[in-house]
Amino acid sequence: MASNLDLRLGIDVGGTHTDAVVLDRDNAVVAKTKQPTSPDVTTGVRAAIAAVVSHPAVETSRISHVMLGTTHATNAVLERRRLHTVAVLRVGAPSSVAVRPFFGWPDDLVSAIGGHAEIVRGGFEYDGREIVPFDAGATRDFFVSLKGKVDAVAVSAVFSPMSADHELAAADIARDVLGQDVILSLSHEIGSLGLLPRENATILNSALTGVAREVAAALTTSLGDHEIDASVLFAQNDGTLMALDYAVRFPILTIGSGPANSIRGAAFLTGLTDALVADVGGTSTDFGMLVNGFPRESAANVDIGGVSTNFRMPDVLAIALGGGTVVRATEGGVTLGPDSVGFRLPQEALSFGGSTPTLTDAAVHAHRAQIGSARVSPDEEAVLEQALLVADGMVAEAVDRMKLGRGDVPMIVVGGGSVLIPDAVPGVSEVLRPEHFDVANAIGAAIAQISGRWDEVVSLATGRSLAIESACAQARVRAIQAGADPDHVEIVEIDEIPLAYLTEPVARISVKAVGPLGRL
Amino acid sequence: MLIQSDDITALARGCAVLGTGGGGEVVTGALVARQALADHGPVRLVGLDDLPDDGILMPVGGIGAPSVSAEKIGSGDEVEFLREAVESVLRQPVVALMASEIGGGNGLYPIAAAARTGLPLVDGDAIGRAFPEVHMVSMNVAGLRPELVVVADERRNVVVLRPVDGPWAELLARSVTEVFGGSAAMADYVMQVSVARGAIIEGSVTKALEIGRTVMAASDPVASLLEAVDAVQLLEGKVVDVERHTAGGFVRGSVIVEGYGPDAGRLVRVEIQNENLVALEDGAVLASVPDLITLVDSQTADAVATEVVRYGQRVAIIAFPCAPIWRTPAGIEIAGPRAFGYDVDYIPVEARHGVQP
pLDDT tens profile B323-348: 999 999 999 999 999 999 999 999 99
Whether A502 and B313 lie within 8 Å, measured CB to CB: no
From the candidates A202, A501, A503, A510, which should be mutated to test the interface with B, based on the most B CB atoms within 10 A?
A501
Residue A1 pLDDT level (bands cut at 50, 70, 90): very low
- Calculate the CA dihedral of residues B254, A196, A71, A85 and round it to 10 degrees: 170
Looking at residue A199, its pLDDT comes to: 97
Backbone torsion region of residue A239, taken as left when φ is above 0, otherwise alpha when ψ lies between -120 and 50, otherwise beta: left
Find chain A residues with C-beta within 8 A of B311's C-beta.
296, 404
Start-to-end CA span in chain B (Å):
28
Closest approach of chain B CAs to the CA of A258, in angstroms?
A: 21
Whether B73 and A195 lie within 8 Å, measured CB to CB: yes
pLDDT in tens, B98-137: 999 999 999 999 999 999 999 999 999 999 999 988 899 9
Whether A507 and B314 lie within 8 Å, measured CB to CB: no
Dist CA A253 CA A241 (whole Å) = 10
Residue pair A442/A10 in contact (Cβ under 8 Å)? The answer is yes
Q: Considering only the beta carbons, identify the residue of A125, A194, A405 that sits closest to B70.
A: A194
Looking at residue B357, its pLDDT comes to: 47
pLDDT in tens, A346-377: 889 998 888 899 999 999 988 888 777 667 78
Find chain A residues with C-beta within 8 A of B65's C-beta.
126, 499-502, 506
Strands B158-161 and B149-152: antiparallel
Whether A498 and B246 lie within 8 Å, measured CB to CB: yes
Find chain B residues with C-beta within 8 A of A156's C-beta.
none
Residue B349 pLDDT level (bands cut at 50, 70, 90): very high
Q: Beta strands of A115-199 (E only): which ranges?
A: 116-121, 152-157, 183-186
Residue pair A48/A11 in contact (Cβ under 8 Å)? The answer is yes
Dist CA B108 CA B102 (whole Å) = 8
Q: Considering only the beta carbons, identify the residue of A159, A404, A501 that sits closest to B249.
A: A501
Q: Considering only the beta carbons, identify the residue of A95, A301, A500 that sits closest to B75.
A: A95
Of A274-278, A438-442, B244-248, which gets the smallest average pLDDT?
B244-248
- Calculate the CA dihedral of residues B253, B107, B113, B203 and round it to 10 degrees: 150
Whether A96 and B71 lie within 8 Å, measured CB to CB: yes
Residue A339 pLDDT level (bands cut at 50, 70, 90): confident
pLDDT in tens, A313-325: 888 888 888 888 9
Find chain B residues with C-beta within 8 A of A97's C-beta.
73-76
* CB-defined contacts A:B, below 8 A: 156
Whether A507 and B246 lie within 8 Å, measured CB to CB: yes
Looking at residue A2, its pLDDT comes to: 44
A75, pLDDT greater than 90? no
pLDDT in tens, B210-242: 999 999 999 899 999 999 999 999 999 989 888
Residue pair B288/B277 in contact (Cβ under 8 Å)? The answer is yes
